[in-house]
Structure 1
Amino acid sequence: MSAPDNEAGTALEEIVAGDDAAGARLDQWLATALEGLYSRSRLQALIRDGHVTVGGAAVTEPKRKLLVGDRVRLTPPEPEPAEPRGEAIPLAVLYEDDDIIVIDKPAGLVVHPGAGNPAGTLVNALIHHCGASLSGIGGVRRPGIVHRLDKDTSGVMVAAKNDIAHRALADAFADHGRSGGLERAYKALVWGIPLRPAGTIEAALGRAGSDRTRRAVVPQGRPDARHAVTAYSVLERYDFAEDGKSDAALVECRLETGRTHQIRVHMAHIGHPLIGDRDYGAAFFTKANRLPAPLCETVSAFPRQALHAWLLAFDHPVTGERMRFETPLPADFSALINGFRAL
């Protein structure tokens, strides 16, 4: 075949599978047929998103086996804009001035655009709300962002509206409050009750195997190991189960470092994963079956990790004034806790 035209949004020349395609995986064969134009991982993503057809029908399984004579066509998607666009996404603004904006982020809202989330993020909402004032020092994909919460974690966040504020806040978060200027506290509902009413978890975090999105406790000497410290204290105990197999606790966690998924990984590491955490607490999901109705249904249906950033305090990056913001638990989290309290 001739060299393919890879203009985005335009179908590449149709490729007819030859004898070498018999029984081959679609993604592997296509990577060879396109002469390295796309990586195999990129082709897998394009196939899953429906951009490849075989015999005129969309195929979404990269492992699909080919037959001699199959007619394969790839139609790449339109390119994404180089910079995020403003979107009229509602924001719960707790405070705003010319330098910063503090919001109560709802669960389900991604902080900044990335793979799989090109739009509909907090950044898109901030661009629409703040306009041209939003700081760009964090890069075009993360204007104004100095810290983040996981998609399914709710709570207080601050963003910078100019470069001066951005630099000062970024330094404060990089320092992790060691100088006393930054304070962050979370509430988490976990399986089981920690033996000690308060404690500190100090365990390095790194990539969990080949999965780029997950983290795990790793040896301190590993090249990707990052020092991580979480202090926790038990706020409420729910020890109603005689066998102790469905006990739970409401804990407060305070960060001395700010690593990806830090609280979730650290609490799972000591045997108390967050309720609803499908990444780090999947092995505990059957515990909900031991709970009486309707709590069993409430816990089983809870769609996210039970984690809320209820407190954020910092020194204003320009005036130096002490700023402190607290937010109540969102309705779904409150309902979950009230179900345990009722027992």
Structure 2
Amino acid sequence: MNEVRTIAVAADEAGVRLDRWFRRRWPHLGQGQLQKLIRSGQVRVDGARAKADARLEAGALVRVPPLPDAPPSERDRPLSSRDAAFARSLTLYEDDEVLVLNKPAGLAVQGGTKTSRHVDGLLGAWGEGLTRPRLVHRLDRDTSGVLVLGKSPQAAARLSGAFARRRAQKTYWAIVMGFPKPGEGVLDLPLVKRGVGDRELMVPAEPKEPRAEAAQTEFVTIARAGPRAAWMALRPLTGRTHQLRAHMKAMGHPILGDPKYGDEASRELSGDLKLQLHARRLVLPHPTKGTLVLEAPLSPEMREGFARFGFDEHEAAHDPFQGPGRR
């Protein structure tokens, strides 16, 4: 990367150390290289120098200086015309400031040591430098649905700020195991990360436990397939890692097709289903005008789940959390 970039910190990256934020995006950077860039002031946060252990706030603008290229096999390979066409085929909405994609299940949002194909790597389809869209929030690799990006540093900062101030209203659809009782409500259950590496999980925590993070999820059951499974609308009121998956497991109704948070019973019921979690709807302020109301059609993976349990997507209200259709 041979140009200076300004990247907005996404809402779910709030609290991450500056050096770790860099390593997540550019894992090929050596620690010595990164420390030199930070110490010399080439890296800045909101225009000011920052230390490697500084905790980032959502919406903060990080100045990223020119970085050494990663090996072509890992990052920054020139986009093929096929990849560029694929990236553009995901577009749900686009204007001069905002790009919205319908992220497919199985496609990571950002790269890592074992991930060479991801949304961030496809954004060159819209250009490089200041014209390259910027991520403002994330979805899990196996979660499909609405993903919003800013098309300028200013738009990205405003969008990130909307997520950080909880002005983004997110509605997910999920198929879970069992017959949830109560069928609607708010689960207020702090979460804490435990484990190492790929085995890290978010688990329930005591409110005063060190590193515990407050987490609230609003939920409503839209339809049931007898005692076997339920189609639910989930609204995260906070933005913790794997929050919905961890909360549904804690309720005793794990999301079907979840290899990480499922149990033996849910895995048996899931069979060959992939993760049944879809970012269906997002309502948030446009960076400069009005309100964005965005919906993603069901993914092929979710359609399989709906077909298996006899659910009809037209049964749900646009907003299952209010008005007719709430049950």
Cα displacement (A) at 1:83: 6.7
Cα displacement (A) at 1:335: 2.3
Residue 20 of structure 2 corresponds to which residue in structure 1?
Answer: none
Contact 1:86 1:128 in 2 (8 A): no
CA distance in 1, matches of 2:139, 2:122: 15
Structure with the bigger RCO (C-alpha within 8 Å, sep 6+) is 2
Give TM-score scaled by structure 2 length: 0.67
Residue 96 of structure 1 corresponds to which residue in structure 2?
Answer: 94
SS of 1:220's partner is: coil
Cα displacement (A) at 1:165: 0.6
Cα displacement (A) at 1:107: 0.3
Any unmatched runs of 5+ in structure 1?
1-37, 39-77, 136-142, 289-298
2:177 counterpart (191, 194, 211) = 191
Note the 1:1-343 alignment, pairs <5 A: 80=71, 84-85=76-77, 87=79, 88-89=83-84, 90-91=86-87, 92-117=90-115, 119-134=116-131, 144-177=134-167, 182-211=168-197, 213-239=200-226, 244=227, 247-285=228-266, 287-288=268-269, 299-302=270-273, 304-317=274-287, 319-341=288-310
Residue 58 of structure 2 corresponds to which residue in structure 1?
Answer: none
Cα displacement (A) at 1:86: 5.2
Residue 55 of structure 1 corresponds to which residue in structure 2?
Answer: none
Cα displacement (A) at 1:268: 0.4
Contact 1:189 1:251 in 2 (8 A): yes
CA distance in 2, matches of 1:235, 1:204: 25
CA distance in 1, matches of 2:153, 2:119: 19
Write the letter of the residue equivalent to 1:300. G
Contact 1:134 1:160 in 2 (8 A): no
CA distance in 2, matches of 1:110, 1:285: 24
Question: Is the alpha carbon distance of 1:86 and 1:322 closer, same or farther for their aligned partners in structure 2, counting shifts above 3 Å?
Answer: farther
Write the letter of the residue equivalent to 2:148. V
Max Rg structure: 1
Question: Is the alpha carbon distance of 1:101 and 1:86 closer, same or farther for their aligned partners in structure 2, counting shifts above 3 Å?
Answer: farther
Deviations 1:206-262 (A, max 9, x none): 1123356421112222222111110000001111xxxx4xx1000000111111100
Cα displacement (A) at 1:131: 2.7
Write the letter of the residue equivalent to 2:223. E
Cα displacement (A) at 1:104: 0.4
Write the letter of the residue equivalent to 1:104. N
Cα displacement (A) at 1:337: 1.3
Cα displacement (A) at 1:331: 2.3
Aligned residues: percent identity?
33
The range that moved more, 215-224 or 199-208, is: 215-224
Cα displacement (A) at 1:109: 0.6
Contact 2:190 2:205 in 1 (8 A): yes
Contact 1:85 1:127 in 2 (8 A): no
Residue 41 of structure 1 corresponds to which residue in structure 2?
Answer: none
CA distance in 1, matches of 2:139, 2:216: 17
Give TM-score scaled by structure 1 length: 0.64
Write the letter of the residue equivalent to 1:172. A
